[in-house]
Amino acid sequence: MAEVVWGLATSHVPSIGAAMDRGKTEDPNWKALFDGYAPARAWLAEHRPDVAVVVYNDHANGIDLDVVPTFAIGTAEHYPVADEGFGRRPVPDVVGDADLSLHLLESLVDEGFDLTVFQELDVDHGLTVPLSVWTPDPGEAWPCPVVPLLVNVIQYPQPTAARCYALGQALGRAIRSYPEDQKVALLGTGGMSHQLAGARAGFINPEFDAMWMEAIETDPARLAALSREELIRQAGSEGIELIMWLIMRGAMDERITKVHSSYFVPASNTAAGIALFDNRAPQPA
Ligand code: DHB
Ligand code: FE
């Protein structure tokens, strides 16, 4: 049977990918952020999964704003990297795992999560930047196939934190019921606090981010109890992307072990955080 082996939560700021693509990771403005990734990357290089489920949001690059599904899944064998207006990033296209996608789709629909299905999908920075945070030098291919799980965080009303946590729990059951012997990694992407437009553009809330970073490991139910409006108030209108970390967390065991976390302000307009958790911790009897 399949098992969840680790979870990586990470911001997906486009300029993190651009800094990597343009060889600027040693520049004074960027070095501290990338130094903060190093221990996680070293551990991840030793713990390669068979497949990864990446919980992410599209930013009107792969999906038209006319039709924004609340939750969706990709079922393709191949996901091209989106052109977000500056040409495609010089990173590999993403290989899918249609068999796992269809198993997750069926299990989640049976549990009452009526996912929209993308049989074709261009993936934007929401997915490719987290892959770069994980694997800075992918060469010809990312380390493993990917199943994209999409969440609407860009148009009101976004799903609640509670609903995301419940989806994560159902996702965990779905993965564990997959009959193939597969090591499955999870990525929860987006956040941390940021707001890109409006009167509070530039808003960052380090106290909230510190609370979130601690509670995502030890008390995710507390985070799941936050209302959409409270999340936007505390984390900013784009900081609500953090609900995607709760999907990752819900699919993991109650007790997990933190491998590494880091936090850097600002990456572009965003408080950039990563948190890496090992799911194979000893469980309470
Ligand atoms: C930025 C952050 C995001 O989450 C995003 O999707 C786009 C831009 C930023 O801080 O520039
Ligand atoms: Fe974003």
Within-domain flag for 135 = yes
What average pLDDT score do residues 235-242 get? 98
Q: How far apart are CA 67 and CA 152, in angstroms?
A: 10
242 CA distance to ligand 1 middle (Å): 13
Best mutation site among 57, 125, 127, 194 for ligand 1 pocket (most ligand atoms within 8 Å of CB): 194
- pLDDT mean across residues, the chain: 97
Q: How far apart are CA 219 and CA 44, in angstroms?
A: 24
Banded pLDDT at 168 (limits 50, 70, 90): very high
Residue with CA nearest ligand 1 atom 4: 13
Q: Give me the pLDDT at residue 275, please.
A: 98
Active site residue 194: yes
Residue with CA nearest ligand 1 atom 3: 13
Question: Is 17 close to ligand 1, i.e. is its CB under 6 Å away?
Answer: no
Within-domain flag for 235 = yes
Q: Give me the pLDDT at residue 285, please.
A: 61
State the residue range of the domain holding 250.
3-278
Q: How many domains does the chain have?
A: 1
Q: How far apart are CA 235 and CA 213, in angstroms?
A: 12
Give CA angle at 63 (61, 67), nearest 5°: 140
Residue with tokens 């960027």: 30
CA atoms within 13 A on the CB side of 218: 6
Q: Which H helix or E strand runs over 11?
A: none
Within-domain flag for 99 = yes
What average pLDDT score do residues 220-244 get? 98
Question: Is 270 close to ligand 1, i.e. is its CB under 6 Å away?
Answer: yes
Among the atoms of ligand 1, which is closest to the Cα of residue 15?
11
Banded pLDDT at 32 (limits 50, 70, 90): very high
Within-domain flag for 283 = no
Question: Is 103 close to ligand 1, i.e. is its CB under 6 Å away?
Answer: no
Within-domain flag for 44 = yes
Best mutation site among 59, 196, 264 for ligand 1 pocket (most ligand atoms within 8 Å of CB): 196
Within-domain flag for 86 = yes
Q: Give me the pLDDT at residue 180, please.
A: 97
Express each pLDDT in 171-180 by its tens digit: 999 999 999 9
Candidates 59, 103, 194, 260; catalytic one: 194
Q: Give Cβ neighbours of residue 199 (< 8 Å, ≥ 6 apart).
A: none
Q: What is the CATH number of the domain that holds 42?
A: 3.40.830.10
Residue with CA nearest ligand 1 atom 1: 13
Q: What residues pair up with 263 in beta bridges, in sequence order?
A: 273
Q: Encoding tokens for residue 101? A: 């996608």
Q: Encoding tokens for residue 47? A: 């713990």
Express each pLDDT in 126-167 by its tens digit: 999 999 999 999 999 999 999 999 999 999 999 999 999 999
